[in-house]
Structure 1
């Protein structure tokens, strides 16, 4: 029978990797309008505010760090805080408090997944785990 903690580390790594890939996609959309053209990113000729530029850069580079498992805990903590800030500044509005009504459910999920990674660490297949072994 396979060790439960090994399976848990593997599942945590899969969660980390998939979440990071999705975050990188969100950042790329903000910065260059890819993969969905016409969404108002910089690559679409749209005006990119300073805040959106900062958020997009953090999402791409922070996502790459989380993807590889490099400095996972501090980067995930910062990304969690960014997602909380992003929800309150971009999604929460006079439309209501329910995330689905203000298109903020993905932001809340990112916030809590990154908070979880900040406490648990990267799991298997990470630079952090490799550096611990050395």
Structure 2
């Protein structure tokens, strides 16, 4: 990898995370609140309806957390799992391949979020801001003079 591409990697990963998380959150908002065209051609999914409403809440909350970079790996893992569930319970029974069964978005989101579980959020993540302000565990438990173990 060229040095320029390597230096840009965390920033491009962050943009990828923000766009994907935002799109996923919009899909959830459309289903939960009936905005942006609504669910399935208009309207919202009735609260508590299994599994659609719960999937929409995962999309809304998980997508928002991923976009913000807050708890990215856990939010991405749950989002990936929900899309795998959607693919195998809703789409797989209609045909073998995603192109045939309408499950392409579920399959793509599943793999995209799984990738974010392993890559992390990249730059511009709220987690980075929070951990940068949190003192190291050793600093919280010991004063600098007590940081080295003393044999008694």
TM-score (norm 2): 0.77
Supply the distance in 1 between the matched residues of 2:38 and 2:68 (Cα, whole angstroms): 27
Aligned residue in 2 for 1:74: 74
Q: CA deviation at 1:33?
A: 2.6
Bigger RCO (CA 8 Å, 6+ sep) = 1
Aligned length: 131
Unaligned segments of structure 1, at least 5 residues: none
Structure 1 runs of 4+ aligned residues shifted over 4 Å read 45-48
Give the conservation status (yes or no) of the 8 Å contact 1:29–1:39.
Answer: no
Per-residue CA distance 1:52-96 (angstroms, 9 max, x = gap): 1111111101111111000101111111111100111111123x2
TM-score, structure 1 length as denominator? 0.86
1:10 aligns with 2:20: no
| Partner Cα separation in structure 1 for residue 30 and residue 36 of structure 2 | 6
Deviation at 1:130?
1.6
**What's the Cα RMSD here?**
2.1
For residues 33 and 80 of structure 1, do their structure 2 counterparts lie closer, same or farther at Cα, with a shift above 3 Å needed? Answer: same
User: Hey, what does 2:113 align to over in structure 1?
Assistant: 114
Name 1:19's counterpart in structure 2: 20
Q: Quick one: distance in 1 between partners of 2:71 and 2:54?
A: 19
Alpha-carbon shift at residue 35 of structure 1 (Å): 1.1
Show structure 2 runs of 5+ residues with no match. Answer: 134-152
Question: Deviation string for 1:9-29 (max 9, x for gaps)?
Answer: 011011101111110121122
Cα pair 1:40 1:46 within 8 Å, conserved: no
Separation in structure 2 between the aligned mates of residue 38 and residue 125 of structure 1, nearest angstrom: 31
Contact 2:31 2:38 in 1 (8 A): no
Q: Does 1:123 pair with 2:122? A: yes
